[in-house]
């Protein structure tokens, strides 16, 4: 009998290492927390990935999680506290990897280093996995809190919109790594503006020339920029890279110096934004007379937004940091990075210590494979077996609509030309003021997001990347439309009403 599988999320350019911790939690450990476990499938095809669960199990897991939060919000807050701790543990472990010379290690030391780091990596990842039941596909906590806000706004007769109020109350108090990097770049730019020679260099030369000439003009700033580059190169790495090069950072700083008049105001605004958000939230909480229980639930929702970003960044930093370790393993085993990334992490011990692995099997996994976990039993399917299982999964549909709905991540109203942006190579077509339409945004697409007048996505809840970045950029965002990239085409004129989560296609681009 076929299961009622559904696809929860698509992830571009990823591999097996992302999923072991998550899959262990969904299929085994989740039962300890909420009494439900999830059968899971994870499909890979030449680096592209999508995964999902059965509809019934996923729905039940979400309901059980919300019920437990309603009974005891502190339970979930404790999980979030552990997650934040492990994010920092993983960052520290990754930083330590960057200091090691793997070529000097024995096979045994190499395997131990890899498995020790991956243990922290997997623990960090799995601590965020209840969010997938609670928010992805259902938005159970978000919808509950929006409903409560609606009642309180009506009860107190306040002139507030539910979407805008919810967006503000779930905005995090802590800065993302992306925001920290941008603020540090601004500080460097402000220092350059105080030195006439260095300022002129940045105004007159291209990034490559600046890198060549800066050491002879200002050694101190040259060192500061180099350290900035080394500190933040990993930010767009995601699962397989590439990282940013030094030219990227120099070009960014050059752009800030060219916008000297805007720089001071922008830097001041970024520094004051979090305090402003806190003050606005405190005022709202008083006006709404939120009780301690619902205050804690908004804390949970706010943490979900922040910790999704922190967890992802910790994982990206981890993947970036252990790439040299993988290269050393690959050198000894005669395997490429691509092959190593399609080895299930628990298979590494036999591969490194006993040389037990099959290169052709790893190639087949990359080309097309499906990991299926049912009743805690894992199978890795390739070839005809994978093709047979794929027929059980949903197929894409064609849609002909002029209006679609999603959930509000950031309120606002915008009209603009649609641009479908799913991959870094799509970003060249993005212009200032366009509406960015994406299946699901990621750090590699941030440059395009900064140009957008609004962002619309197929998938996601308050924990998705698009929602997090849109809040930081303060641009309207509608998430979870499910079908935006299937309905909307490049060049369509859109009316985005993020106050109500509605996107209208005003004019279709002529073919």
Q: Which residues contact 147 (CB under 8 A, 6 or more apart)?
A: none
d(CA 233, CA 41): 33
Question: Is pLDDT at 501 greater than 70 in this prediction?
Answer: yes
Position 433 scores a pLDDT of 94
Could you tell me if residue 289 is inside a domain? no
The rounded percent of the chain whose pLDDT value lies above 70 is: 98
501 in the same domain as 446: yes
Position 265 scores a pLDDT of 83
Position 99 scores a pLDDT of 96
- Peptide bond before residue 242 is cis, with ω within 30 degrees of 0: yes
| For range 390-418, the mean pLDDT | 83
Could you tell me if residue 295 is inside a domain? no
Could you tell me if residue 49 is inside a domain? yes
124 in the same domain as 13: yes
129 in the same domain as 12: yes
**DSSP states of 141-183:** HHHHHHHHHHHHHHHHT----HHHHHHHHTS-SS--HHHHHHH
Question: Is pLDDT at 510 greater than 80 in this prediction?
Answer: no
Q: What is the pLDDT of residues 69-128, one digit of tens each?
A: 999 999 999 999 999 999 999 999 999 999 999 999 999 999 999 999 999 999 999 999
Q: What is the pLDDT of residues 362-374, one digit of tens each?
A: 999 999 999 999 9
Domain that holds residue 190: 177-271
Question: Is pLDDT at 133 greater than 80 in this prediction?
Answer: yes
11 in the same domain as 114: yes
Could you tell me if residue 326 is inside a domain? no
How many CB atoms within 10 Å of residue 178? 18
What is the number of domains present in the chain?
Answer: 3
CATH of the domain at 489: 3.50.30.10
Instruction: Give yes or no for a contact between 434 and 452, defined as CB atoms under 8 angstroms apart.
Output: yes
209 in the same domain as 110: no
d(CA 231, CA 33): 37
The rounded percent of the chain whose pLDDT value lies above 90 is: 70
Quick one: how far is CA 11 from the chain centroid? Answer: 10
Question: Is pLDDT at 132 greater than 50 in this prediction?
Answer: yes
| For range 452-474, the mean pLDDT | 81
Reference 241, options 231, 249, 233, 252; nearest CA is: 233
Could you tell me if residue 468 is inside a domain? yes
Query: Where residue 462 falls among pLDDT bands split at 50, 70, 90?
Result: low
Q: Which residues contact 98 (CB under 8 A, 6 or more apart)?
A: 321
Position 259 scores a pLDDT of 82
Three-state secondary structure string covering 366-431: HHCEEEEEECCEEEEEEHHHHHHHHCCCCCCCCCCCCEEECEEEECCEEEEEEEECCCHHHHHHCC
Position of tokens 């959930």?
407
Reference 455, options 437, 473, 482, 443; nearest CA is: 437
Could you tell me if residue 340 is inside a domain? yes
Question: Is pLDDT at 443 greater than 80 in this prediction?
Answer: no
122 in the same domain as 21: yes
How many CB atoms within 10 Å of residue 32? 9
Instruction: Give yes or no for a contact between 186 and 256, defined as CB atoms under 8 angstroms apart.
Output: yes
For the record, the structure tokens of 481 come out as 């439309």
429 in the same domain as 375: no
Give the three-state DSSP class for 116: helix
Q: Of 271, 287, 318, which one is at a domain's C-terminal end?
A: 271
Could you tell me if residue 398 is inside a domain? no
Question: Is pLDDT at 1 greater than 60 in this prediction?
Answer: no
Query: Where residue 360 falls among pLDDT bands split at 50, 70, 90?
Result: very high
Length of the chain: 511
Position 511 scores a pLDDT of 62
For the record, the structure tokens of 169 come out as 């109350």
429 in the same domain as 382: no
d(CA 14, CA 122): 16
Q: What is the pLDDT of residues 6-51, one digit of tens each?
A: 888 888 889 999 999 999 999 999 999 999 999 999 999 998 899 9
Give the three-state DSSP class for 10: strand
How many CB atoms within 10 Å of residue 393? 16
Position 36 scores a pLDDT of 94
Question: Is pLDDT at 461 greater than 80 in this prediction?
Answer: no
d(CA 75, CA 79): 7
384 in the same domain as 434: no
Q: What is the pLDDT of residues 233-286, one digit of tens each?
A: 999 899 998 899 999 999 989 988 988 888 888 788 778 888 888 999 999 999
Position of tokens 């490049």?
490
Q: What's the Rg (C-alpha) of the chain?
A: 24
d(CA 254, CA 247): 10
Q: What is the pLDDT of residues 168-206, one digit of tens each?
A: 899 888 888 988 998 999 999 999 999 999 999 999 999
Three-state secondary structure string covering 265-328: HHHHHHHHHHHHHHHHHHHHHHHHCCCHHHHHHHHHHHHHHHHHHHHHHHHHHHHHHCHHHHHH
d(CA 472, CA 178): 10
Between 128 and 465, the higher pLDDT residue? 128
Most confident of 216-220, 276-280, 427-431: 216-220
Could you tell me if residue 485 is inside a domain? yes
Q: Of 227, 245, 271, which one is at a domain's C-terminal end?
A: 271
| For range 385-393, the mean pLDDT | 93
Query: Where residue 137 falls among pLDDT bands split at 50, 70, 90?
Result: confident
Task: Please give the mean pLDDT across all residues of the chain.
Answer: 91
111 in the same domain as 33: yes
10 in the same domain as 127: yes
SS3 of the chain: helix, strand, coil, percent, to 5: 60, 15, 25
Which of 106-115, 241-250, 324-333, 401-410 is least confident? 401-410
Reference 386, options 399, 367, 401, 400; nearest CA is: 367
Instruction: Give yes or no for a contact between 93 and 85, defined as CB atoms under 8 angstroms apart.
Output: no
123 in the same domain as 13: yes
């Amino acid at each position: 009998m076929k299961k009622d599988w559904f696809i929860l999320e698509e992830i571009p350019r990823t591999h097996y290492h992302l999923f072991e911790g998550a899959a262990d939690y969904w299929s085994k450990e989740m039962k300890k927390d909420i009494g439900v476990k999830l059968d899971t499938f994870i499909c890979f095809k030449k680096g592209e990935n999508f995964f999902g669960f059965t509809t019934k199990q996923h729905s039940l897991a979400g309901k059980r999680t919300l019920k437990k939060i309603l009974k005891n919000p502190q339970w979930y807050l404790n999980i979030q506290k552990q997650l934040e701790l492990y994010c920092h543990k993983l960052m520290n472990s990754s930083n330590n990897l960057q200091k090691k010379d793997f070529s000097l290690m024995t096979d045994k030391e190499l395997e131990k280093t890899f498995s020790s780091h991956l243990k922290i990596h997997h623990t960090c990842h799995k601590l965020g996995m209840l969010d997938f039941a609670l928010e992805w596909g259902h938005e159970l906590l978000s919808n509950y809190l929006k409903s409560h806000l609606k009642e309180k706004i009506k009860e107190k007769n306040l002139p507030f919109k539910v979407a805008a109020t919810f967006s503000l109350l779930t905005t995090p108090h802590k800065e993302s790594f992306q925001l920290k990097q941008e603020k540090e770049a601004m500080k460097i730019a402000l220092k350059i503006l105080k030195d006439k020679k260095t300022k002129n260099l940045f105004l007159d030369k291209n990034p490559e020339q600046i890198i060549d000439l800066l050491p002879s003009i200002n050694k101190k700033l040259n060192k500061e920029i180099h350290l900035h580059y080394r500190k933040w190169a990993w930010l767009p790495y995601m699962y397989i890279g590439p990282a940013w090069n030094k030219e990227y950072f120099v070009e960014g700083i050059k752009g800030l110096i060219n916008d000297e008049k805007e720089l001071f105001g922008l830097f001041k605004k970024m520094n004051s934004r979090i305090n402003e958000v806190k003050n606005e939230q405190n005022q709202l909480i008083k006006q709404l007379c939120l009780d301690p229980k619902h205050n804690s639930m908004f804390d949970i929702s706010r943490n979900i937004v922040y910790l999704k970003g922190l967890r992802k960044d910790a994982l990206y930093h981890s993947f970036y940091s252990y790439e040299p370790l993988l290269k050393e393993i690959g050198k000894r085993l005669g395997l490429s990075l691509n092959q190593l990334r399609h080895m299930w992490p628990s298979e590494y011990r036999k591969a490194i210590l006993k040389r037990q692995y099959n290169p052709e099997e790893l190639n087949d996994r990359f080309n097309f494979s499906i990991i299926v976990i049912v009743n805690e039993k894992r199978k890795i399917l390739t070839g005809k077996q994978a093709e047979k299982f794929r027929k059980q999964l949903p197929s894409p549909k064609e849609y002909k609509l002029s209006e679609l709905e999603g959930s509000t991540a950031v309120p606002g109203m915008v009209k603009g030309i649609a641009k479908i942006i799913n991959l870094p190579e799509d970003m060249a077509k993005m212009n200032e003021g366009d509406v960015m339409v994406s299946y699901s945004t990621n750090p590699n697409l941030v440059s395009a997001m900064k140009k957008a007048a609004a962002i619309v996505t197929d998938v996601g809840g308050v924990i998705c990347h698009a929602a997090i970045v849109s809040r930081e950029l303060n641009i309207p965002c509608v998430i979870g439309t499910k079908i935006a990239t299937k309905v909307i085409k490049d060049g369509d004129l859109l009316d985005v009403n993020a106050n109500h989560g509605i996107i209208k296609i005003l004019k279709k681009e002529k073919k």
